[in-house]
Structure 1
Amino acid sequence: MFNVISKIIGFINQSIAAIGITAGVAVAFINVVARYGFDASFTWATELTVYLFLWSAFFAAAYCFKKDAHIAVTIILDIMPTKIAKIMLILSHVVTIIFLLAVSYYGYEYLLLVIDLDERSIDLWDMPMWIIYLVVPISFLFGGYRVIEKLVEIIKTPHEQVVRVSEHEMHLHGMAGDIEEDKGLEKMVKDVEKKTGGML
């Protein structure tokens, strides 16, 4: 059941992120061509472009929690005993979950207020603004679900591996398969670190 939910959330995140950025670029490009090529402009294009980029960014951020693509500073974890490092990781993920779910909840509360006020877009065909603001509660809820998945994974991981296996190594393990069977993983990690300047 959880695998099905995870796949559905992943599909929604990827689809909206890809469609949003693609459509946003297309609308902006068409508006620029119309403005400079035909001395015309679509009044709704700028607002629509902003909303498309907004939806794309929020759902892409939610997807990044699944792939551990968000920037993380692990220098303190690297020098801590493994048991303490695991506890710190668990606490940081719990705080992150609380934050994401809180933003999702209050985003929903604000959504209800917008519906009550019947706020509408000026340029975008009189569209109800609650449709636009829907991105906040949904994307943050999805992000919270992804962090809960990561928290469960950390809890199940032996504390010795929390420090021994860094984040970029864990990411590569997911791509390469079992850590014990992949003999070329260490070389792969070094190559990636060299090419990215250690930023992965």
Structure 2
Amino acid sequence: MNIQEFKKKYDKALEFILFVMMVAMAAVVILGVSFRWAGHALTWYDEVASMQLAWLTYYGAAYAALKGGHISVPSILKSFPLHIRKPLFFLSKLFVYSFFILLTYYGFKVMFIVQGETLTTLDWFPQPLAQSVIPVASILFILSETLNFKDSYQQMMEGKIVGGEE
């Protein structure tokens, strides 16, 4: 399997994961609102919906990185001459990789710190599983950036605006 095939399968896998997460979150919200409306509020609804939103955000960031749609101001990079643009491009990637490597490291540390704990309202759901989104999604973000690196670099060299900013 070449890089492009892997990127396509990775893209589809992230889309599927995000779709399942959105459907699950919508179901929890509808369930929570329905029970609250009926006068029998679910004690776990707020905590689970908040966790689902965080998971959706982190995994969505990895998907956005794969599509080149993360927060950036590529027009600033484009305004520089090519001989300055190249080192700035690599410097920006170094910052992104460094940040997500640190986030992965400290995300795993948090998982070990909360080991043995559970969610407040669901005493059977382990806290490390809830917190696993940080290191896992950070690794996915790094993978997304790596898979998108060649295209981003090529667009930058051609003077195109990377990330779809118009």
Judge same fold: TM > 0.5, yes or no: yes
How far has the Cα of 1:146 moved from its partner? 1.4
Instruction: Output the CA distance in 2 between the equivalents of 1:50 and 1:69.
Output: 24
| TM-score between both structures, scaled by the size of structure 2 | 0.86
C-alpha contact 1:16 1:55 (8 A) present in aligned 2: no
Tell me the residue number matched to 1:141: 139
Superposed CA deviations along residues 100-143 of structure 1, whole A, max 9, x for unmatched, are: 1110121112212222xx11112124311011111111100110
Q: Which residues of 2 match residues 96-135 of structure 1 at below 5 A? A: 96-115=96-115, 118-135=116-133
Tell me the residue number matched to 1:26: 27
Name which of 156, 161, 165 aligns with 1:166. Answer: 161
C-alpha contact 1:17 1:60 (8 A) present in aligned 2: yes
| TM-score between both structures, scaled by the size of structure 1 | 0.72
Question: For structure 1, which runs of at least 5 residues remain unmatched after alignment?
Answer: 172-198
Greater relative contact order (CA < 8 Å, ≥ 6 in sequence): 2
How far has the Cα of 1:10 moved from its partner? 2.9
Superposed CA deviations along residues 35-89 of structure 1, whole A, max 9, x for unmatched, are: 21x2111111111111111111110111100101113213332321112112211
Q: Which runs of 4+ in 1 moved over 4 A?
A: none
Say how many residue pairs are matched.
165
Question: For structure 2, which runs of at least 5 residues remain unmatched after alignment?
Answer: none
Instruction: Output the CA distance in 2 between the equivalents of 1:134 and 1:9.
Output: 19
Q: CA RMSD in A?
A: 2.3
